[in-house]
Structure 1
């Protein structure tokens, strides 16, 4: 989920459209990207996802956050 979210964000960052240069290819919309740069975006999305995922996994596995702690935080009864 983290990688998919990072990828969706990266698809929107730094887009250079055909309409920006007034060089539209026949049959395409003006907001169609001039170049996609998919490989670079995949690498950035992976780096961002790892930067978020590694600390999250550490917090969960280390016991800093527990189910009982989350239940107490949300006001749900602890069984």
Structure 2
């Protein structure tokens, strides 16, 4: 035997789903667009930082340190 409230739950669920999709139409697209803009901005900042001489020297020093720990000597980047 089925539960007596089951048809009412289905009706309420379909009504809420219909209401929610009408009021939030396009919300996912706006969220994706915001995320893409933020990612592009962060990427631009990282490119600008890595082009600077200070960051380039720090990255070279880090790679040389890792190579020395691995036992590879005499390589200067």
TM-score tier by shorter-chain length is: 0.3 to 0.5
The structure in which a higher percent of residues are helix is 2
Larger radius of gyration: 2
TM-score (norm 2): 0.42
Higher relative contact order (CA 8 A, sep 6+): 1
Q: TM-score normalized by structure 1?
A: 0.42
